[in-house]
Amino acid sequence: MLIPALDLINGQVVRLLKGDFNQQTVYHNNPVEVAQSYQRAGAEYIHLVDLDGARDPNQRQLKLLTRITEETGLPVQTGGGVRTRRDVEQLLGSGVKRVVIGSLAVTDPRTVLAWMNTFGPEAIVLALDVNIDEHGERWLATHGWQQQSSVTLEACLQPFVAEGCTHVLCTDISRDGTLAGSHVELYRALKQDFPSVQWQASGGVASLNDLTALKAANCDSVILGKALLTQQFTLEDALACWAQSVGA
């Protein structure tokens, strides 16, 4: 599945370069219209990142998230500053299908495991953001990529998979927002190591060739952000490419 993404700040569609709020570009002033255009193009799901909520949960753009959900009719997954059970309940109560949880899965996995058991694996997406060192170790970053943890992706994920974790969004931080091409071998290896997980690739997609390569690597879904906003290709073309590509 291809999942178009919108990053939201103050009711606008933006992109950050490698998660840096100081390197912010505004693309649209009406996220609802953009989301509706993706729905008309054939999107089956949409990914929303509430960057205001990520910085301050009290500033969560809940009305906007609800409006996008209602006016597109699309199932939505969203995250940004999810820190409490109340946050999860609030988002699911607004009509969101999946809540995306990042930093807390690394810093407090027991709490997130409890939520997954309460709300079900289909309601939770783990967002694991990796920095890959010169030895190929995949270290997880937290707090909007501002902090480097001492936890590897594999060590973090194993207890979640043991409890039935279904959806994981993995971002190669070095490629996010760069249009430098997707790290295809990363997702190939992750699918081989954790075949029960539905992997969502994120970061660097710049061309239809990237999509073909990810499909061949048996990646389950791809998040499309900057490539669509900068018109590297249309969502219609991307969906056609994905449908025609052959998985491994």
Neighbours of 180 (CB within 10 A): 15
Catalytic residue among 50, 52, 129, 172: 129
Residue 57 DSSP class = G
Has 56 been annotated as catalytic?
no
Q: 111: burial class by Cβ within 10 Å (0-12, 13-18, 19+)?
A: middle
Has 129 been annotated as catalytic?
yes
DSSP 6-50: EEEETTEEEEEETTEEEEEEEEES-HHHHHHHHHHHT-S-EEEEE
C-beta separation of 49 from 5 below 8 A: yes
C-beta separation of 104 from 140 below 8 A: no
* Residues known to be catalytic: 7, 129
